[in-house]
A and B are shown apart, each in its own frame.
Chain A
Amino acid sequence: MKVFRLSQTELDNMVQQWSQNRRVYRPAADRQQSAHADCAPGWERVAGSAPLTMAVGPPKTSVKTFLFPQPETMQTFSLKSSDPDKALMKEPEKLTEKQIVAGLRPCDARSVMLNNLPYREDPFYQANLARTVMVGFTCSAMCATCFCDQVGGSPMGTEGLDIAISQIDGSFVAEVLTPAGEELTAGLDLAPADDTDINALAARRAASPQVDSAKLAALKGRDLNRLYEAPLWKPLGESCINCGACTFNCPTCYCFDVQDEVVRGYGRRIRYWDSCMFPLYSLHTSGHNPRGRKMQRTRNRFMHKLKYFPDRYGPFSCVGCGRCVQDCPVNIDIREVMSDLLTVE
C-alpha cells in the first residue's frame, strides 16, 4: 500500500489531472443544478479549478446514485410493426468508461459494500462497481447526526474506498488501497508520506470511536416477532407521513421498481428507486395490500434495516450517515428507534 502526502494545491491538481481524461464527480457546491447535468442531484462533474474541500458531514445525497443510477436502462425494445425485432428485448451496451467519485465519506463507501450483499449477482450493479473508483475523505470528527460507530463502521474507516484521504494538520495524507487507486496515482508526481504522517494517521485511527459490537449483537439475538409486535411502532407510524425522503437519501436503501417507457415506438425497460414507504410498493393487483397501513410501512423500513437484513446477510443495513435523521420532515430518528428496540421486552 502506498501512502502519499499532499497539500491542498497538490490534491486539487491531482483531481484536475484526473478530470482531463476521466469523468470525475464530487459533492455539489450549490443546491441548484443545471437540468442537463450528467449526474444525479447533489453531485457535480469536476470542471474548472474549484478546490476539493471537506465540508461538514457527508454529501447531501449518497453515492448509491453512481452504482445504482436512477433510472437504469435494463432493456430496450422497438414496438414498430415494420421492425422484425418488434417487442424483442435487447440489453443496452454496458458502460465501461471509468468514473471517479471524489469526496465521499467512509459511511458511503461502506454502503457500497453492504449493498453488494444483495446485489452480488446483479449485472448492472456489478458493472457500475467495476467502473467506479472511489476516492474518499475520512472524518476527523463525527457530526451530531452521525452514528457510524454504532452500526459497524468508523469515521476513519476505509472499507470500500480505493483511495482514502485524511486531513492531518492542514495537509492531506492519501492511502492508496486498491489496484484501481494505484492506477489513478501512477505517473503522478506525489511525495510519499513520511513516518510522522503515518504515525499520526495510525494514532488518529486508534483514537477514533470503536465499533459498538455489543449493540449489534444484542439486536441480532432478539426474537423477530417480539420486535415486530413492539408498541413503539404505533406512535412512529402515526407521525410518519410516508414520504420517501429517508429511503431516497439513504445510501443503503436499495429497493427498485421496474417500468416500461415508450416514446413513439421506441421503448426501454428501466429500473428506478422505489421506497417501501409508499403504499404502491406492496399493493397487489387484487387491491389487497399486505402493508396497507402507514405504521406497517414505517415498521418494515426499520425492521428491514435492523433485523431482516442482518438476519439474512449479517451486518445492519445502515451505515450511520445520519441523512435520514436530518431529512425526516417529522423527525423520526433511527437512533431513537434502535435504542427503543433494544429495550423491547
Chain B
Amino acid sequence: MISYLPYPVRIDDIVVETEDGNLKTFKLVFENETQKKAWKHVPGQFAMLSLAGQGEIPIGIASSPTEEGHLLFTVNRAGKVTTALHQMHTGERMGVRGPLGNGFPIDTDMKGKNIVIIAGGFAVTTLRATLIYLLEHRQDYGKITFIYGARTPGMLLYRDEMKQWAARGDLDLHVTVDREAPGWDGLVGFVPTIAGQVAPSPENSVALICGPPIMIKFTMPPLEKIGWTDDLVYLSLENRMKCGEGVCCHCNVGPTLVCKDGPVFTRTQVRKLPVEY
C-alpha cells in the first residue's frame, strides 16, 4: 500500500550554491532511526519535499545512496514551496516522501560500460548523485566522462567537489561556462559544443543527459555524428506532479506516467511519446 505520509526530517545544513542565491543545497537528516535505515534509493530517483502549510514538490535526490545518514537536495527557488523552503533555517522540521521513480540503470545497462554524463545548469543534481555512486564503485564501470556547463562560473553547482573530482585522475572532467569570465581559466563554450569535442565513441557506452530542453536538442546532433544512437542515451523528464506514485495522473505524457515509469527514459522511449513534457 502507498503511504502519502512524509518522513519527518530536519534541515542539518544549507549551502547557497550559486552567485544569484537562487540555488541552495539542503542537507536533511531523518528524525526517526528506523526510517533512516529503511530509506534506499537509486541515483536518478526523486522525492517529494513536504513543507507543512505550503505543499509538496518533486525534487531529484542529489545525494548518492553511498552517502549514508542524510539526503541532499539542491533546490531552485521558483514557486510557492521552493520560495518557502529557501526561507527555512537549519534545525527546522520538514518532510520527505519517497524515494520515487525509477532512477538510472546503474546495476543493469550501465554496469561495465563507459559512462558519459552531460549536464547543463542545475539539472546536474541527480547526476551528481550518479557520479558519486560511480566513483564509489569505480571498478564496476569503464571510462567516465563528465561534461558540465553553466552560464557563468558563479552558477556552477558543487564547485568544491568538482575540484576534488578533477584531482582524482580516474575520470574525464570537463566543466565549461557559456562566456569568458574574469578569474575563469577553464573551458568556455556551450555544452553541446564541448560534448561534440570531447565525447567518446559510443562503443560499450551509455550517456546520461540532463539539462534544459534546448541543450538536449543541440547536444544530440554532435553525438549522433560520432555514432550515438537513441537507445544509448538516457534522459530524465519532468512534469507537474502531485502524488508521485502513479495515481493522480498529473504527470502523464500519453499513457506514460513520468513519476512512476520515469523520470528516467531512454531517448528511444521518449521519441515514442507525444510531446507533452
Chain A interface (Cβ < 8 Å from any Cβ of B): 74-75, 77, 79, 86-91, 118-119, 121-123, 126, 224-225, 228, 254-260, 262, 267, 269, 271, 274, 276, 281-286, 290-291, 296, 300, 303-304, 307-309, 311-312
Q: Are A307 and B255 in contact (CB under 8 A)?
A: yes
Given contacts A224-B254, A258-B242, A290-B239, contact A91 B5 (CB under 8 A): yes
Q: Are B53 and A312 in contact (CB under 8 A)?
A: no
| Residue from the list A74, A119, A284, A303 in contact with B254, Cβ < 8 A | A303
- B107 touches A (CB below 8 Å): no
Q: Are B255 and A308 in contact (CB under 8 A)?
A: yes
Closest A residue to B6 by beta carbon equals A89
Q: Are A290 and B249 in contact (CB under 8 A)?
A: no
Given contacts A281-B250, A285-B78, A290-B276, contact A77 B52 (CB under 8 A): yes
Closest B residue to A299 by beta carbon equals B274
Closest A residue to B3 by beta carbon equals A123
Q: Are A296 and B1 in contact (CB under 8 A)?
A: no
Q: Are A284 and B4 in contact (CB under 8 A)?
A: no
| Residue from the list B4, B239, B252 in contact with A123, Cβ < 8 A | B4
Closest B residue to A258 by beta carbon equals B242
A309 CB contacts on chain B under 8 angstroms:
255
**B75 to chain A: closest CB distance in Å?**
11
Whole-angstrom CA separation of A219 from B64 in the bound complex: 44
The secondary-structure label for the interface of chain B is loop
Kindly count the residue-residue contacts between A and B in the assembled complex, taking CB atoms under 8 Å apart.
119
Chain B interface (Cβ < 8 Å from any Cβ of A): 1-6, 8, 50-56, 78-79, 82, 92-95, 238-240, 242-243, 245-250, 252-255, 272, 274-277
A262 CB contacts on chain B under 8 angstroms:
53
Q: Are B52 and A260 in contact (CB under 8 A)?
A: yes
Q: Are A89 and B249 in contact (CB under 8 A)?
A: no
B54 CB contacts on chain A under 8 angstroms:
260
Given contacts A77-B53, A79-B53, A256-B242, contact A86 B93 (CB under 8 A): yes
Most A CB atoms within 10 A — which of B2, B51, B95, B252? B252
Supplied contacts A126-B1, A285-B79, 15 more A-B pairs, CB within 8 Å: A87-B94, A89-B6, A89-B95, A118-B246, A123-B1, A228-B254, A255-B248, A256-B242, A256-B247, A271-B248, A281-B240, A284-B238, A285-B78, A303-B254, A304-B252
